[in-house]
Structure formats: structure tokens, C-alpha cells
């Protein structure tokens, strides 16, 4: 699976959009971008995934650049409950089943 690079931490104001970047310059054509988050003392939670088109669900939006070498997870209206570690993972869908969690980005939403 391709390696990803994320900022270590970022702050966001409550009610504002949070934009979380992820670089995956060695991504292969059949690899998807997955985002998970882990709220303190809880198990990781799936957020969204995509291949090349932008995706949106009830939790977030995922914007993937045209060359697919980077992506941005957008939390449209961050709340205090969105404070968590966010993991960007690149892997082949339905491929080898190892989810490689890196260090992620610690997002702190402030009131």
C-alpha cells in the first residue's frame, strides 16, 4: 500500500470547516483513499473513501486531486465532538486486508 503523509496536528474553530490534507504521491491506479478517525478512548471509525472522484456523505467530503497524489478531508461544520485523530490510508479495495494506520493528524476543535 502507498505511504501517506499527514500533518501532525491542527486546530479548528467550532462551526468552521476543517480541511485535513493528506499526501500520497506514490498511489497506484487501483488504490483507494480511506479516512478513519479515532476519538479518544474509542475504536477507529470509518469516515469516507474514494478512488478519483470527489465523495460526500453525512460525515464529510473527500476531495482528491486530479493526479491523485493528494487529497483533503473536509468536515464542513466542525463540532467539539469532531476532536480526534484522523487517519488517511491508501489501499487496494478488496485487496490485502491490512489497514496500515500511521500517526494520523490530531485535530482539536476549539469553542
Interface contacts to another protein, rule CB under 8 A: 34, 38, 41-46, 49, 93-94, 97-99, 101-103
Identity of the residue, 53 or 94, whose beta carbon is nearer to another protein in the bound complex:
94
Residue 107 near residue 10, CB atoms below 8 Å? yes
CB of 46 to another protein, least distance (A): 4
**Would you state the cell numbers that stand for residue 77, as one nine-digit string?**
461544520
d(Cα 65, Cα 108) in Å, to the nearest integer? 25
CB of 93 to another protein, least distance (A): 5
CB of 65 to another protein, least distance (A): 22
Identity of the residue, 69 or 93, whose beta carbon is nearer to another protein in the bound complex:
93
What is the chain's alpha carbon radius of gyration, rounded to the nearest angstrom?
Answer: 13
Identity of the residue, 14 or 38, whose beta carbon is nearer to another protein in the bound complex:
38
Name the residue among 86, 67, 62, 66 with its Cα closest to residue 26. 67
- DSSP 8-state class, residue 4: -
Amino acid at each position: 500500500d502507498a505511504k501517506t503523509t499527514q500533518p501532525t496536528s491542527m486546530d479548528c474553530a467550532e462551526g468552521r470547516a476543517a480541511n485535513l490534507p493528506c499526501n500520497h504521491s506514490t498511489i497506484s491506479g487501483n488504490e483507494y483513499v480511506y479516512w478513519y478517525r479515532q476519538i479518544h478512548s474509542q475504536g477507529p471509525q470509518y469516515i469516507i473513501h474514494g478512488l478519483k472522484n470527489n465523495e460526500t456523505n453525512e460525515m464529510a467530503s473527500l476531495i482528491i486531486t486530479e493526479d491523485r497524489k493528494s487529497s483533503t478531508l473536509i468536515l464542513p461544520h466542525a463540532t467539539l465532538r469532531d476532536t480526534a485523530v484522523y487517519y488517511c490510508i491508501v489501499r487496494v479495495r478488496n485487496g490485502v486486508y491490512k489497514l496500515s494506520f500511521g500517526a494520523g493528524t490530531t485535530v482539536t476543535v476549539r469553542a
